[in-house]
Each structure stands twice: as structure tokens, then as C-alpha cells.
Amino acid sequence: MNLAHYIDHTLLKPQATRADLDTLCAEALEWGFAAVCVNPVNVRHCADKLKGSKVRIAAVAGFPLGASLPEIKAAETARAVTDGADEIDMVMNIGALKEGRIDAVREDIRAVVLAAAGKTVKVIIETCLLSESEKISACELSRDAGAHFVKTSTGFSTGGATVEDVALMKKTVGSLLQVKASGGVRSYEEALAMIRAGATRIGTSSGVAILKGEKAGNEY
């Protein structure tokens, strides 16, 4: 197994500079990561740096709270695709889910799926804020809205990915969707545990350290 092919090399810090992005892209090329995951404002720059390579560009939408209006998430998505994004990691409307407004959650996701125009959509459900039944519902709504992945976490809330959550999400979506584990994955062993639980992508800013067998720090 080539672990690098599972990793979305991530840089979502608000203070990220173009020099930081250049390093991110260079590392993604050197190590053969699946994708780089960046904020929408940085998509075009990374697309230029990675042009002609196999490294995909993932852009976040509604990040990190999920509290944007559906039309804003859709517009953000459409622009990211225009700028070169291959994948969209969107944050669902967490408050609506917790209130039981499932139609609103479904339509929020569907708006992004439509705006992505066939590109891969990953739905961040922020597992640390949800009960088990809410996690299941979030996965089912993502499936029904046409998403391709469910993703554990933004890495900006009160907790990140756990093996238990990845296993629950995979059990819920089965073979219909894939699962991305992100937030707090900082070692080779942790990454392998997520994959064994059902994850097919790992979102981390510590990809290089993980592949070197080093224990990374506390950054997303």
C-alpha cells in the first residue's frame, strides 16, 4: 500500500502565504500525495503550480463553520471549479441537522453537488459536534444529495477523526460513498488505523512527517 496516495496534503491556515503554498505543492509532487486541500482563494495558484501533474486540487466551501447560505456555498464551489479545483470539501449546515431540518441539510449539500458540475464532493459532517444518530443521518443525507464522500472533521472544531467514527460512517454509506478521515491524524499508525476502519482518504497537514515515520505536532 502506498500511503501517500491516500493523503490530501492540507493547508487551510488563514496566514498561509504563497511561499507556503509553493512548499505544499512541491511536497505533494515529491511524495505523490492524492491532492492538496486549500482555501478557495488559493486554488488558482496551486492549479498553476500543479498543472500537468496527477495531484488533484481540493477546495473547501462553507469552511470552517458550514453556516453560509446554500447559494453562497454553491457560488464558492463554482468559482473554485473554474479556477481549477477537482474536488470540493464542503461543510454541511450543522445547526440545521441538529434541529432536525433534514430537508435544509439535503438541499444545502445538493446545491454544492450541482455547482461542482460532476467534480468530487466531500461533505464534512463535523463528527465531534454530533450524536451517533446525527452522524448516521448526516451520512444518509450526503448520500441522498449526491455527494461522493463523507468527511469526519474540519480540524478547526473541538475534535478530529476517530477510528470509531470512520467505522460508523463507512458502515452507514457502504460502497456508495467513500470516507475521508481528517483532523488529528499525525502518525503513520494513526493513518493506517483510519484506513483499516474504512477511510480511503486522509486529510492532514502532517503528510510528510507521517511518511517519514515521525510524530507530527498539533496542527491540522
Four-point Cα dihedral 66, 72, 180, 210, nearest 10: -90
**pLDDT tens-digit readout, 76-105:** 999 999 999 999 999 999 999 999 999 999
Answer yes or no: 98 catalytic: no
| Full-model pTM | 0.96
Q: Choose, from 49, 135, 170, 180, the residue flagged as catalytic.
A: 180
Q: Choose, from 119, 122, 151, 170, the residue flagged as catalytic.
A: 151
d(CA 219, CA 201): 18
Name, in order, each residue with C-beta under 8 angstroms of 114's C-beta and a sequence gap of 6 or more. Answer: 74
Check residue 79 and give its pLDDT: 98
**pLDDT tens-digit readout, 199-209:** 999 999 999 99
Domains and CATH numbers, the chain: 3-211 (3.20.20.70)
DSSP state of 60: E
d(CA 144, CA 55): 28
d(CA 21, CA 41): 11
Answer yes or no: 122 catalytic: no
Q: Choose, from 89, 119, 122, 170, the residue flagged as catalytic.
A: 89
d(CA 141, CA 100): 12
Mean pLDDT to the nearest integer, 185-214: 95
